[in-house]
Amino acid sequence: MATVLCAGLYAIGSYMTSYIPSPWGFGQFRPAVVVPSFFAVIFGPMPAGVGAAIGTLIADSVKHGYLYEGSLFAAVPGNFLGFYLFGYIVRKRFTWGRFILASNLTLTLSNLVVATLYVFVFKVLYLGQLGDLSFDALAFLVIGLTIWWFVTMLPFVLLVTPPLIRAAATAFPTIVPEDVRAHSLQEELPETTFSLAVLVPGIIMLLVGLTTSYTTLGVYLSNFFGNSTKDLIQLMFYGSGGALSFLGLIILVSKRQPRNPRR
């Protein structure tokens, strides 16, 4: 039942934003990753992994109107691997620190797997497309997709999933594992770790954006992807980097502000 619910909710949520592409014209904006993240914590690795794999296949296939091979080759294995690993990490011993670690690690790994399989297996080998691009350009495309998915997913997982976990622990305590219930209701989210988990990727995004603007990397992008795509890529790095850095600084500053003593 948990697997079916995860797959259905993830399919609906993914389809709702499936028409918002990356700067390269493929690769979707997907805040619905909060669904399998939540199921990974509450129900464990297998319902989350299988549910995410089935859900992404349903959403992609409904969008394209047929069984979409790109999802079958890339998104299905990447989503299963990522959210199974997410559930495995937090299931052994849940703490908010492990939750933050799982979020960063699994989003990086799963998105890298999806991007690599989608570009090299589906686009190049299966469809015979992107043949005019060099291996370096294809590798940069994989890295760029991985980064874009990571920075657009991470804030939703870190900001939306914890309140959902706490709400489930309060409303349905019998279905929530005991250690998850104890930590989610009694332990505060570690604000320093949380802020650094958002701030560090944001700073990296800003540095990469500066690199594309003031080094030969920008020329490289223009030659292979065109000026309009290069401008969108730069906007992605600056916008996502600025947003993540601002969010991380706000959390860090708010933690350091002294609280008014009671009188």
From first to last of its 263 residues, the chain has per-residue pLDDT tens of: 999 999 999 999 999 998 887 777 778 889 999 999 999 999 999 999 999 999 999 999 999 999 999 999 999 999 999 999 999 999 888 888 899 989 999 999 999 999 999 999 999 999 998 877 788 888 888 988 898 898 889 888 988 999 999 999 999 888 888 888 887 766 666 777 777 777 888 888 788 788 878 877 677 677 766 777 778 778 878 887 888 888 778 877 765 555 555 44
| Pair 17, 34: CB distance under 8 Å | no
Residue 129 phi/psi, 5-degree rounding, is -95, 175
Q: Where are the domains of the chain?
A: 2-188, 190-256
Buried b (16+ CB within 10 A) or exposed e, 129-148: eeeebeeebbebbbebbbbb
State both tokens at 221.
Answer: 């992008």
| Alpha carbon 257 to chain centroid, angstroms | 30
- Find out whether 70 and 60 touch, Cβ atoms under 8 Å: yes
Indicate the angle between helix axes 191-214 and 96-116, nearest 10 degrees: 30
How far from 191 is each of 96, 100, 258, CA to CA, in Å?
Answer: 10, 11, 14
Domain 2-188 has what CATH class? Answer: mainly alpha
Residues 6+ apart with CB under 8 A from 101: 89
Q: What pTM does this model have?
A: 0.83
Residue that the structure tokens 């979707």 belong to: 28
* The residue to which tokens 């309140």 are assigned: 163
